[in-house]
Chain A
Amino acid sequence: QQQVKQSPQSLIVQKGGISIINCAYENTAFDYFPWYQQFPGKGPALLIAIRPDVSEKKEGRFTISFNKSAKQFSLHIMDSQPGDSATYFCAASDYGQNFVFGPGTRLSVLP
């Protein structure tokens, strides 16, 4: 019940295209859903986060879509750039407690 599933495992997108990464969870107590971006050799860094009281959050080219009834959320990267090439992790936590992470998606944006 604590698991967070993430797909795809890897993703290749052309420059300017849209990258979409999907996550699903089981625990209905989760109330905070962040996305992390990790470059090789670096620690993960918070990219964008959402709470279940909204269905969408946008920050620049990055958008989270949230479907509470389906227990799914996704990250959309618009106008993908080679600099976006990284590994992306979705995560979930309940009431500020510990985080559960998805297995990650390796994104490659081709120039």
Chain B
Amino acid sequence: NAGVTQTPKFQVLKTGQSMTLQCAQDMNHEYMSWYRQDPGMGLRLIHYSVGAGITDQGEVPNGYNVSRSTTEDFPLRLLSAAPSQTSVYFCASRSTGNGETQYFGPGTRLLVL
């Protein structure tokens, strides 16, 4: 199993540009989520999905869109990049249920100029 994979590893954008961060998992997990990690702030939930066709907002959803057309894939879209979105983005997946281990991808480092 590859686990949780993310592409790209690093991206530079100009303000106003759009892009999609890709996330895929091969563990047949129902639950997938996107976090951003900023210094001193831990990981903050952007969006999550409990299954194909179902998505919901997390703590910091503004400026981001998601969709879940398959169990395996959960892309994160930046509609119009802003410098405040400079961060490291992590995708995670787990089985639903209480206490299931959450697996993280390797992250995408995004710089918005």
Contacts and interface: CB of A to CB of B under 8 A. Distances in A.
A9 B80 CA distance: 33
Given A31-B98, A49-B99, A104 B45 contact: no
Given A89-B43, A101-B43, A102-B42, A46 B107 contact: no
Interface residues of A, number: 24
B4 A89 contact: no
A62 to B, nearest CB: 15
Contacts, number: 53
A103 B104 contact: no
B74 to A, nearest CB: 15
Contacts of B53: none
Q: Is the interface of A mostly helix, strand, loop or mixed?
A: loop
Interface in B69-113: 90, 92, 96-107
B66 to A, nearest CB: 14
- Main SS class of interface, B: loop
A102 B44 CA distance: 9
A45 B105 CA distance: 9
Given A49-B99, A96-B97, A98-B45, A43 B90 contact: yes
Contacts of B35: 101
B98 A96 contact: yes
Interface of A: 4, 6, 9, 31-32, 34, 36, 41-46, 49, 51, 89, 95-96, 98-99, 101-104
Interface of B: 4, 33, 35, 40-45, 48, 58, 90, 92, 96-107
